[in-house]
Structure 1
Amino acid sequence: MTKPAAAPSRTSIRTSTRSSILGGLIGSGIGGSRSPAMHETEARALGLPLVYRLLDSDVIGFGADDLPALFKTLASLGFDGTNVTHPFKQAVVPLMDELSEAAARLGAVNTVLLRDGRLIGDNTDWSGYRASFLASLGVLPRGKVAMIGAGGAASAVGYAHLDLGARRLAIFDPATERAQALAERLGALFPDAEVFAAPSPAEAISGVDGPGVDGVVQCSPMGMEKHPGTPFDPRLLTRDMWVSDVIYFPLETELLKAAKAIGCATLNGGGMAVMQAAHAFARFTGQEPDVERMLADFAADSERGR
């Protein structure tokens, strides 16, 4: 099976010839999003006149049925592109005139380009996580992975790990039907890998008979400020495992603290947040951002509590 490259196709990208570049984020309850700061700060550093606006359904008052009209409005206002987040990543898919290979395979879009009256859907969640993982933990074994959580983020992260060569992906979610559905979907995309829903975190991480996994990626809401705690008992971890968490607020979750204490290599969600934004930025503007600068800006903002 032919797999997509590390970053989605750029065949539909063009550098904006407008006097300014207009982008945004479509989602629900996104008032605290750091996307505007990430995009606008990097644009200023590159000398690009980019404006990035939040399009919050809770504030503006729209739903999935209103998305066609919303995109028509955005096109008439001269938007170059938008990011899309919960709960609209799947709802926008049927509205696209063109999909990248990854977006089509994942059935989710988080980046939309508005080009000459056409909507082009892409997904930079998976490529953003993939790039972050390779930069931080890429030298470590990754053939056997346990994934905790089977929501929207898990779809992109699981896809990334299978694209990176995971031979075994065990998925646990308290919603067993959701875990099973994700396992079946990813398994169909990567038929050479063993992808299955595990009945418990212990069986996902430690297995029944085997020595366990190379690493654990945490994709559930557990660990966020609104959902404190850990999604499983950290004592299931061993020091030779790596632990990745997609949460970036806070950057160091209770799980990552416990994993560090055990001796595990860890990766927080900041890198994924920045890299997916960087990949989207390149599509909106046609110019490559300075990823190291974006990561440094994100870390500095995190220290300031933004």
Structure 2
Amino acid sequence: MSDYYKQRIKKNSEDTRVTLEKYKKLENLINMQKMKTPNDIRYSISVAVLDKVTKLTKEILDDEKKMMIMLGNLRYIFETLVVSRLLLEEKDYAFKVYFSIQTTQINKLDKIVTRIEKEIQLLNNLIMEEEQYSNDPDNMLTNIEKLDKKLKKEITIFMEDVENHGYSFHKHLVETQILSTYKNKLDEYKSKNLKRAKDLANSQSFNKFFQTNGQSSKVFKLLADGRSWKAKADKVGLTDEYEIVYEMTSSLMHFNSYSLFTSDQLDEGEVFLIYRMLNQYLDHIYYNLVKFCDFILID
């Protein structure tokens, strides 16, 4: 059985590398078209997909049997396959893919700002307790050690060197150097997002798919897609693939008794299964992007 799997893994690996060569040619072709029509978002999306999938596929081929890399990358490539079908089936989906990046950045920055503010509040509480201990100078050192131990029980991001700085000065540093920086970035992205929303609300190509009536406030609500990956997979006829990919990846990548007590190395049968699925996903993504870009394919 081992020889069989080795042969099949080798064959699928070779086929995958051939497909990656096709990806390279397609990317060159798209880049030529992109120079002629730089505002066509199909080309920007397709080049980004080809770049990302190529990188992840090479990691799988180069790191055979490294479970986390292989399974994580396979899952991402499957989700890319789902997206490549949605791009064909839902004509407005290209806008949702292309214009969601700044909204994602804003959400990420907003979470970080919230986390910084939470840690500042933690510092405020420690400062108040520290002030209460000032009435007990004989035990001041012991009480400060208790506060430091209390802080260590918390999971923090922005508390490095707080023991050296002291709570009050560290709070000052976090507020003036860290919080202000992230808030400025957040304001910058929000400003860019508002400008983009106004541009899209007045764009003829955008309004072919979305009815904004010139109202920028509607833009990002229309671009939102709250569907789960299962719902997206169901929509494009990939339910069975979703079930197997997510069962394979979830059982090994999340903490549970199975992942805890099984090997972190994939056996040859599992490697073959991943290579076989990968090979076909790459092929389908390729043909979907060709169609998405309105190319006439000549193999």
* TM-score, length basis structure 1: 0.24
Task: Write 1 or 2 for the structure with the bigger share of helix.
Answer: 2
Indicate the structure with greater strand content: 1
Bigger radius of gyration: 2
Higher RCO (C-alpha under 8 Å, 6+ residues apart): 2
TM-score when normalising by structure 2: 0.24
